[in-house]
Chains A and B, each alone.
Chain A
């Protein structure tokens, strides 16, 4: 092995494939770096010929960690394509689902993906730099709160959007499913719990 070459293969704790090759000089400074993301699937081509209204469901498969964002971006493109202004209700339902996603996705990023670096530390052994290491560090009480709130919020996305991973509710000018009074109450409860959770995490981090 070339002692002046460092290879990181694969890059971990993110959605996607990646590899880095770093070449060093005699004094250990970086001479050249190659960063590759061989993630090509070809959405840009294979969406050609598919019906426009399928785009929210096809393009969400760009990323299954943030499918809601891709789903809604495509849905907005459909509004523009058909030149329809979504109704106020439809806009609120979309916003509601997106906000729910926003909170659970941040919890995922902070504890599962970034947490091992921020909470466990980059110098910790690699066997500990992961969600299990994070749970050991923050304690099972915090850990189970994280798991509970994500579960609650992700079930709400499925309630309104059909599925959490790859929702199906976006249509040009609107959404496919109504929000009933009962669903509304579940969302309000979810929102209140999410705020409580955020304050709880903030408190834990201050300690």
Chain B
């Protein structure tokens, strides 16, 4: 029997999702026995042309990680979509935008200026910024367009399944591969992770009070963190209350609060809004001034509650209305 073909690709990402696949360890040898990997730039030497030469739908499953930040990424995921029966948004950048999605608080123009012209370590006396390409010997050498906003994968192409996490946990990855190779496929659009909040699998859940009373919000470097007790009960912004389970409470095992990388459970549309509403309900005061004082202890609400979720949220990011004096024509 012919082995099913699998592809792995990365867009605006860090490579951690590739490492998460390598972390299957000895299991990866079994996976390699079961499938043919036809494209995986981090590990295999196949090129874009090899992908182009495949038949439509010849790939059984494409695991695509990273957010869509450039036109090149957009083109390749469209190509992968045509060649694949199933596309999995693998990892939080692909599912929601992830950390690179925080860039949606700024315009492309602001980002390009900062990186190429303004940082203290930049030496660029001729103020060169990336253009759209060059011509040489009658050939065009093009540079991809840097989009104005970061998109999750399903704003670029149709996605069949989602596997969140930064990175996705090994256990869930293995289960996903086995499920997709089996005859019983989950419903299209499913998130291949448990549909409960992280608190349910937290090793400290016994210490979580029935009613948490938030009187002060503590930042992790400002207090001694008790290694046994519920972090939210210690006043730390542990986001497990509005975050999907499946990671085994990894950050909490590192004695640090959950920052929400798995995204929300299935019944929540907007992770940040849910977290804000959940927290608002446990602030322990009826005095408006005191409530204000407590909530002002959160230095960066957007970056905190939408750390991995901004491009997928209802607002998707920040849009500035004022017209900038100097515009870089390629980045408008």
Chain A residues within CB distance 8 Å of chain B? 2, 4-5, 8-17, 21, 23, 31-32, 34, 36, 38, 40-42, 44-46, 48-51, 53-54, 57-58, 60-65, 67, 78, 82, 108, 112-113, 116, 126, 129-132, 135, 143-144, 147-148, 150-151, 154, 158, 160-169, 171-173, 176-178
Contacts and interface: CB of A to CB of B under 8 A. Distances in A.
B103 to A, nearest CB: 4
A42 B106 contact: yes
A139 to B, nearest CB: 13
Nearest to B137: A23
A53 B26 CA distance: 36
Contact of A162 (B22, B137, B254): B254
Contact of B105 (A36, A49, A178): A49
B42 A15 contact: yes
A171 B250 contact: no
Contact of A130 (B44, B98, B115, B251): B44
A35 to B, nearest CB: 10
Contacts of A42: 100, 103, 106, 111, 114-115
Interface of B: 10, 12-20, 22-23, 25-26, 28-29, 32, 41-49, 69-70, 72, 98-100, 102-103, 105-106, 110-112, 114-115, 119, 130, 134, 136-139, 141, 143-144, 146, 166-167, 219-221, 225, 227, 250-256, 259, 299-300, 303-304
Listed from nearest, the 4 A-B pairs whose CB atoms lie closest are A162-B254, A64-B16, A42-B111, A64-B14
A164 B23 contact: yes
Which of B19, B26, B112: most chain A Cβ within 10 A?
A: B19
B137 A41 contact: no
Nearest to A61: B99
Given A40-B69, A53-B220, A162-B250, A12 B45 contact: yes
A13 B119 contact: no
Contact of A67 (B14, B136, B143): B14
A147 B25 CA distance: 6
A46 to B, nearest CB: 4
Contact of B46 (A32, A126, A143, A148): A126
A165 B16 contact: yes
A15 B167 CA distance: 15
A65 to B, nearest CB: 5
A117 B42 CA distance: 14
Contacts of A177: 227, 254-255
Contact of A161 (B29, B70, B225, B254): B254
B331 to A, nearest CB: 11
13 contacts: A2-B139, A12-B43, A13-B44, A23-B137, A34-B136, A40-B111, A41-B103, A44-B114, A45-B114, A53-B221, A54-B303, A132-B32, A166-B167
Nearest to B104: A46
Contacts of B99: 58, 61
Contacts of A16: 15
A38 B16 contact: no
B47 A64 contact: no
A44 to B, nearest CB: 5
Contacts of B259: 57
B15 A176 contact: no
